[in-house]
A and B are shown apart, each in its own frame.
Chain A
Amino acid sequence: MTTLTPVLTDNWDVAGSFTLDGYGEYEAAKKALGMDPDAVIQAVKDSGLRGRGGAGFPTGMKWGFIPQGDGKAHYLVVNADESEPGTCKDIPLMMANPHSLVEGVIISSYAIRANHAFIYIRGEVLHVIRRVQAAVREAYEKGYLGTDIFGSGYDLDLVVHSGAGAYICGEETALLDSLEGYRGQPRLKPPFPAVAGLYASPTVVNNVESIASVPSIIANGADWFAGMGTEKSKGFGIFSLSGHVTRPGQYEAPLGITLRELLDMAGGIREGHELKFWTPGGSSTPIFTAEHLDVPLDFESVGAKGSMLGTRALQIFDETTCVVRAVLRWTEFYAHESCGKCTPCREGTYWLKQVLKRLEKGQGSEEDLATITDIADNILGRSFCALGDGATSPIHSSVKHFRDEYLKHFEIGGCPFDPAASTVWGSK
């Protein structure tokens, strides 16, 4: 049986966990700044840490791409834009334990030889922004940020930057454009940020949880981290359960835990109901059903079953939920958030929305199912960035698993479900 392994969440039940008193003395940063920067990169490589922002790219390898001795400024940019539907781990992490992130920023910036770092936080989370601002200020006051940190001669400035509401700014190159003061639209890759990122300088963009995991690796060793998880998906991660579960919440566990195990801990699906469908990693990851309860939640196993681990945003829906309604709503989200830069995504998400609306009202036809599949085929792989690809995940996966439910809508000329039954109060 897999058990929970609180590391990043371990001090969340401590009063004042968001202060230095509640966190500790940045021992890991002290240790790291006494090491050679390359040794820090090597430790993160050896740990097997893979990006926690969705794509799972090996973090140490990404850092290794930063050219050295190039005479250019280097930057670390933390992606704290957390806006993928279902994803809700970085926000409570920064609320309760912002110092793990700030300490991680110091170690990571030192490793990539950056003297300026940014935390780009979505703007819609005021109290979280306050907590991160306060943690940064405390770190400055202690001399953990600024000049000659721990007497090592290393200087680092850290700026907390609030976004202004745009899901696309979570895409790393759109984020960089936004941070430079432009509309947040993705850039053509290559060049990758490691070569030409912020201000066309070598830049590492990492997710909050990736960076916050670094102090524990430095403090406890790469082997310690690699001792958790599965062969290619090492370490721990925060799994976020939401929806029709008895006890939704944040469960920090080794990668490779299954939804069945997590549901056991969370008291199962809400009483009197059963699992219908779920997302393993946010709305951009193809939906799973009860047949996937035992799939190990690691990058490889979820991929092998046709979805993606993504951000471990486990949105759980029971049998009262209409799949067509859910997919329509996600599609409206993608249409709304499409940045408009490329045609397949801009036009495709618009048309998907139109056809799905018709289908949901029971005014569609079997042909419409072919149409949405077709539109999705034309977005997938043809869009400028991964937002477009993500928009097709709910479409393809729902048609695959729930074709009959789509058909039912136009057979009876409406939605066969009562939305009141799926509400929190509807179950009582």
Chain B
Amino acid sequence: MTYAPEVRERLETDAKEIIGRYPRPRSALLPLLHLVQSVDGYVSDDGQEFCAEMLGLSKAEVVGVATFYTMYKRRPAGDYNVGVCINTLCAVMGGDQIWAELSEHVGVGHDETTPDGKITLERLECNAACDFAPVMMVNWEFFDNQTPESAKQLADDLRAGKEVAPTRGPGRLCTFREASRVLAGFPDGLAADGPSAAGPSLEGLKIARANGWEAPKAEGSEK
């Protein structure tokens, strides 16, 4: 299989824009692989060939890089990449139980996709949201403070095509392909959605405000 001409044309235009951001073309490889995922849903053979061609690399060089990084899917993935953090803090706070129940509920294991092509399940390492434990990510959006029940409900809603919203993020969840395009450096206009900060992110600030605590004023304060 090779890309249809119009797909190929758009890919090339986007690829050239990405390459143009960097002092040296090869730096564009990671974003180009995200771009390929935004079209194919995974790093396809064609996609890797395409990257190699655009950057003047051998395909082996591209494959060598693509296989190093966990975000690049080796096989066609679901519309929704559903991850459960199972690093220590989240695992202890309930992530292990969420994983066990969710995996059984959905009927697939780590890096496996449901037969309807909707969900790929994944065990995740710490996603820098430990103060919201236990944490899940869907298409790399935050789903904070989960329980086994909320996790199963989330999976059901996704499979039923219902709209679900991340806890800190846009009002609408985008697909894995759409998310990959943002990662490639093509904004989707949703940056202003969602709160500035939420929940635990604001705990310290709330306490400071309640107590009238501030950073010292600068001498001859300019701020």
Residues on B with C-beta less than 8 A from A242 are 89, 130-131, 133
The answer on a CB contact under 8 Å between A219 and B188 is: no
A199 to B26: give the CA distance in the assembly, Å: 11
Residues of B within 8 A of A27 (CB): 222
In contact, B69 and A12 (Cβ under 8 angstroms): no
Please determine whether B203 and A249 come into contact, CB atoms closer than 8 angstroms. yes
Residues of A close to B183: CB separation below 8 A: 123, 126, 129, 162
Is A184 at the interface (CB under 8 A from chain B)? yes
B112-141 contact mask (Cβ, 8 Å, vs A): 1 or 0: 000000000000111111111110010111
Determine whether the beta carbon of B128 is less than 8 Å from that of A181. no
Does B204 contact A4, Cβ atoms closer than 8 Å?
A: yes
Kindly report which residue of chain A lies nearest to residue B25, judged by CB atoms: A181
List, in ascending order, chain A residues with CB within 8 A of B71's CB.
Answer: 123-124, 163-165
In the assembled complex, the CB of A361 is this many whole angstroms from the nearest CB of chain B, namely 15
Instruction: Establish whether residues A164 and B72, one from each chain, have CB atoms under 8 Å apart when the complex forms.
Output: yes
- B131 is contacted by which of A221, A248, A329, A425 (Cβ under 8 Å)? A248
B170 CB-CB contact with A under 8 Å: yes
Contacts of A401 in B (CB 8 A): none
Given the known interface contacts A92-B197, A329-B87, the answer about A181 and B55 at a Cβ–Cβ threshold of 8 Å is yes
Chain A positions 162 through 191: 1 when the CB is less than 8 Å from some CB of chain B, otherwise 0: 111111000000000011111110000000
Stretch from B3-11, B90-98, B154-162 at the A interface: B90-98
**A424, B133: Cβ atoms under 8 Å?**
yes
A82 to B128, CA, bound (A): 7
Bound: A326/B126 CA distance, A: 13
Quick check: A181 and B28 within 8 Å, CB to CB? Answer: yes
Question: Do the beta carbons of A250 and B200 come within 8 Å of each other?
Answer: yes
- List chain A residues, Cβ under 8 A from B134: 423-424
Q: Does A247 contact B (CB under 8 A)?
A: yes
Total interface residues on B, CB under 8 Å, equals 87
B24 close to A95 (CB less than 8 A)? no
> Among A13-21, A142-150, A379-387, which stretch is in contact with chain B?
A13-21
In the complex, are the beta carbons of A124 and B127 less than 8 A apart? yes
* Inter-subunit contact B128/A96 (CB<8 Å): no
Contact A12 B205 (CB under 8 A): yes
Asked if B147 lies at the interface with its beta carbon under 8 angstroms from chain A, I say: yes
Segment 188-202 of B: residues with Cβ below 8 Å from A: 188, 190-194, 196-197, 199-202
Which of B29, B141, B207, B211 is within 8 Å of A127, CB to CB? B141
The answer to whether B126 touches A85, judged by C-beta atoms less than 8 angstroms apart, is: yes
* Minimum distance in angstroms from A177 CB to a CB of chain B: 10
Q: How far is the CA of A73 from the CA of B24 in the complex (A)?
A: 13
- C-alpha spacing A189/B134, complex, angstroms: 38
Q: Are A425 and B92 in contact (CB under 8 A)?
A: no
Bound Cα distance A104, B131 (Å) = 26
Is B199's CB under 8 angstroms from A163's CB? no
One digit per residue, 1 when the CB lies within 8 angstroms of any chain B CB and 0 when it does not, for chain A 215-256 equals 010011101100110000000100111111001111111000
Could you say which interface size class chain A belongs to? 35 or more
B131 near A240: Cβ-Cβ < 8 Å: yes
Residues 118 to 159 of chain A near chain B (Cβ within 8 Å):
122-127, 129-131, 133-134, 137, 159
Give the residues in chain A near B128, CB-CB below 8 Å.
82-83, 87-88, 90-91, 122, 125
B216 near A5 with CB under 8 A, answer yes
Q: Report the minimum CB–CB distance from A15 to chain B (whole Å).
A: 6
Cross-interface CB contact of B203 among A85, A159, A219, A248, cutoff 8 Å: A248
Q: Are the C-beta atoms of B30 and A126 separated by less than 8 Å?
A: no
User: Which residues of chain A are within 8 angstroms of B187 by Cβ–Cβ distance?
Assistant: 130, 133-134, 137
Taking a contact as CB atoms closer than 8 A, the residue among B89, B141, B192, B208 that contacts A85 in the complex is: B89
**Chain A residue with the shortest CB-CB distance to B148:** A425
Cβ contact within 8 Å between A10 and B125: no
Given contacts A6-B215, A19-B192, A127-B168, contact A85 B133 (CB under 8 A): no
Query: What are the 7 tightest A-B residue pairs by CB atom distance, in nearest-first order?
Result: A249-B203, A220-B218, A249-B200, A251-B204, A164-B69, A181-B29, A134-B191
Residues of B within 8 A of A (CB): 21-24, 26-31, 33-34, 55, 64-65, 68-72, 86-89, 91-94, 96-97, 124-134, 137, 139-142, 145, 147, 166, 168-170, 179, 182-185, 187-188, 190-194, 196-197, 199-209, 211, 213-216, 218-219, 221-223
Q: Can you sample 22 A-B contacts with CB below 8 Å?
A: A10-B215, A14-B196, A90-B128, A91-B129, A92-B197, A92-B201, A127-B142, A127-B170, A133-B191, A160-B185, A162-B185, A165-B69, A165-B71, A165-B72, A181-B29, A241-B131, A242-B133, A249-B204, A250-B200, A333-B88, A422-B93, A424-B93
Which residues in A have some Cβ–Cβ distance to B below 8 Å?
A: 3-7, 9-19, 22, 27, 73, 82-88, 90-92, 95-96, 116, 122-127, 129-131, 133-134, 137, 159-167, 178-184, 199, 216, 219-221, 223-224, 227-228, 236, 239-244, 247-253, 265-266, 283, 313, 315, 317, 321, 325-326, 329-330, 333, 336-337, 419-420, 422-426
| New A-B contacts (17) at CB < 8 Å, excluding given A133-B185, A164-B33, A424-B94 | A4-B207, A5-B214, A13-B205, A15-B196, A86-B126, A88-B129, A92-B197, A125-B142, A126-B183, A162-B34, A162-B183, A180-B26, A183-B64, A248-B132, A252-B205, A330-B87, A423-B92
